[in-house]
Amino acid sequence: MEKVFTEYGIDTVVHFAAESHVDRSILGPEAFIRTNVLGTYTLLDVARKAWGNRGDVLFHHVSTDEVFGSLGDSGYFTESTPYDPRSPYSASKASSDHLVKAYYHTYGLPITLSNCSNNYGPYQFPEKLIPLMILNMLEGKPLPVYGDGRNIRDWVYVEDHNEAVWSIMNKGRAGETYNIGGENEWENIVLLDRLIEITAEESGKDPGSFKALVTYVKDRPGHDRRYAIDCSKLKTELGWKQRFSFDEGLRKTVRWYLDNQIWCSHVRSGEYRNWIEKNYESRGV
């Protein structure tokens, strides 16, 4: 990282990188601590040493609403909601958030931070809910639903999320946190029903055959019941707003996975790892 900062004169870091799948964090938390906590520390400290007291630089840290824990039937997460992580994943992201804020207060490192709700859209890894369900439908595999399927998530389309991050980078106040949400809450089982309808329409298949694949499974340990984001600060201060309706975003997402089966098969088979090794490690990156 020191070499990259020096050779390329880095003046802005947008830290999206993370291990981000809750199920995998339950099975193997070490990778999440290593990547999300130690990895964030590495970037912060290299930036601090490279930038010194410069004010024309920025470290933007992308985080999650999961650091806030679980909501009841009402209320929303705001920027002042106390942290209450419930999984190794959310605990690791909470730790990284605190490190970022500490580097601002202790060293004066110019930072901004965002906590977003569930993302969806093209290129999302098949371990995530929406691409997993789309691909399982196409392959005739079970569509696993945790518990009673009534857990609620707020969904934001990936392009809306990226535009929010760009707004924060350009217009946000140093040291501030901004929540990014879709204002778009769905119970998991209701979302799956709509996803089945759209996938059937786009693929020309019978929705009944997809609905027959729905399978209820034992709930995940520590499964948060509801997330919902209050993103009024972002809207009021920076003028951001969502551009994509959920139905529009879902349809674009389904269409992308239908049109990019080769990419999906490479990712699911692990071939992408071999490609990375072949194309990057040989160049010393």
Known catalytic residues? 65-66, 89
Neighbours of 254 (CB within 10 A): 22
Strand partners, 177: 113
Give the helix ranges, DSSP H, for the chain.
Answer: 2-8, 22-27, 30-32, 39-51, 88-107, 129-139, 158-171, 188-203, 207-211, 232-238, 246-259, 261-269, 271-279
Distances (CA, A) of 83 to 59, 79, 89, 91, 192: 21, 10, 13, 9, 29
Q: What is the CA radius of gyration of the chain?
A: 20
Bridge-based pairing state of the strands 58-64 and 111-116 = parallel
> Using CA atoms, how far apart are residues 17 and 180, in angstroms rounded to an integer?
17
Burial class, 283, CB count within 10 angstroms (exposed 0-12 / middle 13-18 / buried 19+): exposed
Neighbours of 146 (CB within 10 A): 17
Phi, psi for residue 50 in degrees, rounded to 5: -75, -35
The answer to whether 183 touches 242, Cβ cutoff 8 Å, is yes
The answer to whether 135 touches 264, Cβ cutoff 8 Å, is yes
